[in-house]
Amino acid sequence: METTLTAHAEAANRSPFVSIASAYRTMLSLGLLCLAAVLMLGGCADSRGGTIPYGVQKFNAPDPIATITAENAYRTGPGDTVTIAVMRVPDLSGDAVIDPTGDITMPLIGKVPAVGKTTDELASDIAGRLSAKYLQNPEVRIALKASSSQRITVDGAVNGPGIYPIAGSTTLLQAIALAKGTTADANARKVAVFRTINGQRQAAAFDLTDIRRGKAADPEIFGNDIVVVDGSSSKAALKNVLQTIPLLALFRPF
C-alpha cells in the first residue's frame, strides 16, 4: 500500500501548484452583536426593562450550522468530520473524523493533531508533513463536512468572556458558568440571547435571578448562540460607539 502511495506522491511532485487550503467560516460576527445586545438591554442595574421581551415562547431552536455565515473561522472539535483533498493524490484524499484525542489519521503520515484548528491551519499542517518526506509542494484542501461540536459566545458582564465549546444539551446557567460567572456589577435580571432563526437574527431576554431561584425555566442554549449579560462596566466601555447605532427592534434582521 505504501509503495502505491509513494508512486502517487512522486507523480504529484510534478505539479507546480503550491499549498492552498479552502477556509470554512461558521461562527457569528461577535463585535456588532455584542454592541447591539448592550444597547437593546438598556435601563438601570439589577432591574428588567429594555426592548427585548422576557420568556418569549417562539424563541425556537436556531437554523442548522451550515446556513449560518460569519467572519470568524470555525475551529474544529472532537467528532467533527473533515474532507481532505490532496491534489493529484486520490489515495490520500477522503473524509476523516477527529477522534476523542483530537487527532485524525492519514496514510503515510499517520496521526495529525486536528482539534482547535481552522481548515486552513489543518491543511497547512498536513501539507508540511507531506512535503517533509513524500511530496514536493503538495496542494491540500480541507472543508468541514459535519460538526458535532458547537461553539457559543458569552460576553458582557462575565468574568471570562469568550467563545466556548459545548457538547450536548446546555442551559443558560451552564453557559454563564463556562464564562466563570457574572461580574460584581452584572445585572443578572437582564441577560440577552441572540440566535439565527429562519435566516434572521432574533433575541430574547432572561432573568438569571429568577432562574437561579427556580421561578423561571432555565432555557436551552444552542451552538452559535450569543449570550450577553448586562452590566454597567460593559455599557460604559461602549458608550461612544452605541450612540451611533439605531435602536433595534425585536425579531428583525440585524
Beta bridge partners of 182: 158
**Measured distance CA(93)–CA(140) in Å, rounded:** 9
Cβ-based neighbours of 156, under 8 Å, separated by 6 or more: 34, 37, 38, 186, 227, 228, 229, 230, 231, 234
Q: How far apart are CA 94 and CA 178, in angstroms?
A: 35
Residue with cell 491551519: 121
In angstroms, rounded to a whole number, what is the distance separating the alpha carbons of residues 79 and 72? 20
Domains 75-146 and 151-237 share a fold: no
DSSP category for residue 133: H
> What pLDDT, on the 0 to 100 scale, is given for residue 113?
96
Residue ranges of domains in the chain = 75-146, 151-237
pLDDT digits (tens, 9 = 90+) for 61-75: 666 655 444 434 677
pLDDT of residue 253: 36
For the chain, residues with pLDDT lower than 70 are 1-73, 149, 233-254
Domain 151-237 falls under CATH 3.30.870.10: no
Place of cell 435580571: 189
Position 235 scores a pLDDT of 55
The label of the residue with cell 461612544 reads 240
CATH code, residues 75-146: 3.30.1950.10
Q: For the whole model, what pTM was predicted?
A: 0.50
**Cα–Cα distance for residue pair 42/138, rounded to 1 Å:** 54
**Among 185, 223, 182, residue whose Cα is nearest residue 206:** 182
Own/partner pairs, 32-36, CB within 8 angstroms, 24+ separation: 32/254, 33/153, 33/194, 33/201, 33/226, 33/228, 33/254, 34/155, 34/156, 34/226, 34/228, 34/238, 35/238, 35/241, 35/242, 35/245, 36/194, 36/245, 36/248, 36/254
**Amino acid 232: pLDDT:** 74
* pLDDT at res. 166: 81
Nearest to 48 by CA among 159, 253, 190, 192: 190
Q: C-alpha 9: how far from its chain's center?
A: 35
pLDDT, tens digit, for every residue of 212-224? 999 999 999 988 8
